């Protein structure tokens, strides 16, 4: 049983990788963005849903782990508080914790991804490049062991293979 955490800035490729891992490993993905968008659609104020969306992902993960199922987390995880929650769940359920940090080292590629992407998450506007730059300024370095994948190089299939290799 394991918790696979995909972390990185918006547009870094973590959702694409999470979906590939989910299909390959038959594991559920708990993605913070659709959870937060559902909260907004339900009428909750945007300023109060960020941490709450992480809390929902944590609760869903906790329940699946309690049942003996592995989970994949798709979230920016920009600071230590949510990262600590994944560590705590791993300890609580005696689950392995594998972290994959997605980065897009080529800034032109990253910007182009943001400018053309359409995620179709009802109620959630697309992120702008300026918002990504703001998030980058707030993003703390990880201290945990992890695989860092530069998604600006290689195909989605190659990146998935690299991630699967790391998870073995």
pTM: 0.92
Q: CA-to-CA distance for 49 and 157, rounded, in angstroms?
A: 34
What confidence score (pLDDT) does residue 142 get?
92
Q: CA-to-CA distance for 128 and 123, rounded, in angstroms?
A: 15
Sorted by sequence, the CB contacts under 8 Å of residue 96 that are 6+ apart come out as 1, 2, 3, 90
- The three-state secondary structure class of 95 is coil
Instruction: Tell me the pLDDT of the chain averaged across its residues.
Output: 92
What confidence score (pLDDT) does residue 48 get?
77
Sorted by sequence, the CB contacts under 8 Å of residue 128 that are 6+ apart come out as 114
Cβ atoms within 10 Å, residue 149 = 25
CB contact at 8 A, 89 and 117: no
What confidence score (pLDDT) does residue 154 get?
83
The pair of structure tokens assigned to 146 is 């992890």
Torsion sign (Cα): 106, 108, 111, 115:
negative
What confidence score (pLDDT) does residue 119 get?
79
């Amino acid at each position: 049983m394991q918790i696979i955490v995909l972390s990185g800035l918006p547009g870094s490729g973590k959702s694409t990788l999470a979906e590939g891992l989910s299909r390959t490993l038959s594991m559920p993905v708990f993605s913070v963005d659709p959870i937060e968008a559902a909260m907004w659609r339900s009428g909750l104020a945007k300023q109060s849903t960020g941490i709450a969306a992480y809390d929902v992902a944590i609760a869903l993960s906790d329940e699946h782990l309690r049942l003996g199922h592995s989970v994949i987390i798709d979230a920016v995880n920009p600071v230590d508080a949510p990262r600590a929650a994944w560590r705590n769940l791993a300890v609580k359920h005696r689950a392995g914790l594998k972290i994959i940090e997605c980065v897009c080292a080529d800034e032109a590629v990253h910007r182009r991804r943001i400018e053309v992407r359409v995620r179709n998450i009802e109620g959630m506007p697309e992120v702008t490049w300026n918002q990504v730059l703001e998030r980058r300024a707030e993003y703390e370095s990880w201290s945990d062991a992890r695989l860092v994948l530069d998604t600006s190089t290689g195909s989605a299939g190659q990146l998935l293979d690299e991630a699967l290799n790391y998870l073995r």
